[in-house]
Amino acid sequence: MVVLKIIENIIFGNSGTWAVISGVLYIIGLWRIFQKSDVPGWKALIPWYREYWLGKCAGKEQEGRFLAVAQFIYTAGNIAVELIKNENARLFVAVISIMAWIIYAIYSIQVYNGLIDVYNVRKRWLWLWILAEPIPALIWGFNDKYQPSWKAGEFRDNAVSHVRGGEVADMGEGLTVNLNKREVPDGLFQKKVLLKDIHMNIKPGRLVMLLGGSGAGKTTYVNAINGYEKADAKVILNGRNIYKEYSKMLYEVGFVPQSDLMRGKDTVLHTLIDYANLRLPSNFSDQDRKDRVEEALKLFGLGPVRNSMVSQLSGGQRKRLSIAMEFISNPSLFILDEPDSGVDGVMARELFKQLRKVADTGRIVIAITHTPDRVVELFDDVIILAKDSDRIGRLAFYGTVDECRKFFGKERMEEVVKTINRPEEGGDGRADEFIIKYAQEVQHV
């Protein structure tokens, strides 16, 4: 009987008839999940080894290792308790076994969270994995609706995870970004890395295009630059640390999001006057505020509609008003998240011409756009972010527009983005290749 319990514990990790049935169903489900991830299904039969491969399928190889070790210690502890006669020794082993079970539970949650990301399903699946893991294993394994977004085999020779770009020195003028990592909590007991290893210097007077596929981290990146979402980073603007002097430099950075919060019943002029009263220092005279408002109206071509209600403006005019509002405080850095969203081609081009004028005043302007080729000749530089095989946003290129074309061997910026997008996103899946290539080129400069 003891021998049977030992064998049962080794294979299924527990004892009892239900545990045997549950264990068999779980293994069958894992077999199919492994096959979907290009892993031989028979590996689901091997105790402890299957935990490691489950971690691989979830993109959590390191967690899979800990999971396998904890499972081994827990199973060995259960077996030892059955064999040891000394009560003190049994108690000691039982404590070790309980600790291993706790560690196993923690890393199981991390691996399950990884699987949820891989299969692009709702987080509520986590509770089913925790409470009745054979059920989701069987459903995901046998239902063709559930497919992994990438294969475990992609991680076997993941050279890109070891690539590091060199930290850049502060120029004194312009923007210096040394972003090591940006991560957020992801479920229980773990964090998800959104961005990693992005380093660059941007000189004053540059109009910079920020490109990348969906989920590459463009908005996360600009939020890290402007200090709205702090990262493990050092961001220096004209010799001053934005993170350390955030309250003092709040108006040095102008950020224009996709949507605006302007009151539709106010006029354009009244909107800018209110914003000037809000954003400009108290030592500004009324005439100074008026001059700044008039400058913004002229620069962004809003003079003809100065007395119009905001609600009566076209989409392009509203966008220009949003930018003009940020211009009021005279920032050194402008960041715009898809300023051409919802604007037709002609109006979008006019909008970017205005941004070109802003950059020509000596400011840095960074703009995210999904239609780059209709305005690319107005830009100086291009930042390309891409998801690596660990699905972390990385820097695939930063340089002039012409250098970008040469680097990727593509004439159009939309072709560049297609090159680095994953196959399931309609791309060529070459992100790792160019992330590595760019890092190597930077290191040899």
Q: Residue 71, SS3?
A: helix
Mean pLDDT of 328-335: 88
Type of residue found at 422: R
Q: 163-252+331-443 — its CATH code? A: 3.40.50.300
Asked whether 27 and 44 are in contact (CB, 8 A), the reply is: yes
Asked whether 115 and 57 are in contact (CB, 8 A), the reply is: yes
Task: Report, in angstroms and rounded to the nearest whole number, the Rg of the chain calculated over CA atoms.
Answer: 28
- Which pLDDT value is given to residue 263? 78
Q: What is the band of 166 on the pLDDT scale with cuts at 50, 70, 90?
A: confident
- Which pLDDT value is given to residue 162? 55
Candidate from 70-84, 257-271, 423-437 with smallest mean pLDDT: 257-271
Nearest C-alpha neighbor of 414 from the set 427, 423, 431, 433: 427
User: pLDDT for 111-130, tens place per residue?
Assistant: 999 899 888 888 889 999 98
Mean pLDDT of 363-382: 92
Would you say residue 288 has pLDDT above 90?
no
Taking the alpha carbons of 171, 173, 174, 176 in that order, is the dihedral positive or negative? positive
User: pLDDT for 5-27, tens place per residue?
Assistant: 444 444 444 446 767 888 899 99
Q: What is the band of 186 on the pLDDT scale with cuts at 50, 70, 90?
A: low
Q: What is the band of 275 on the pLDDT scale with cuts at 50, 70, 90?
A: confident
- Which pLDDT value is given to residue 189? 53
Asked whether 122 and 399 are in contact (CB, 8 A), the reply is: no
User: pLDDT for 293-310, tens place per residue?
Assistant: 888 888 878 888 888 888
Asked whether 161 and 388 are in contact (CB, 8 A), the reply is: yes
Q: What is the band of 75 on the pLDDT scale with cuts at 50, 70, 90?
A: confident
Would you say residue 345 has pLDDT above 80?
no
User: pLDDT for 416-441, tens place per residue?
Assistant: 999 999 887 888 989 989 998 998 88
Q: How many other C-beta atoms are found inside a 10 Å radius of the C-beta of residue 213?
A: 23
- Which pLDDT value is given to residue 195? 93
Mean pLDDT of 241-265: 81
- Token pair, residue 111, equals 């691996």
Quote the CA–CA distance of 14 and 19 in Å, as a whole number: 6
Nearest C-alpha neighbor of 197 from the set 390, 412, 336, 28: 390
Percent pLDDT > 90 in the chain is: 33
**316 or 318, greater pLDDT:** 318
Residues of the chain with CATH 3.40.50.300: 163-252+331-443
Would you say residue 225 has pLDDT above 80?
yes
Mean pLDDT of the chain: 84
Q: How many other C-beta atoms are found inside a 10 Å radius of the C-beta of residue 180?
A: 15
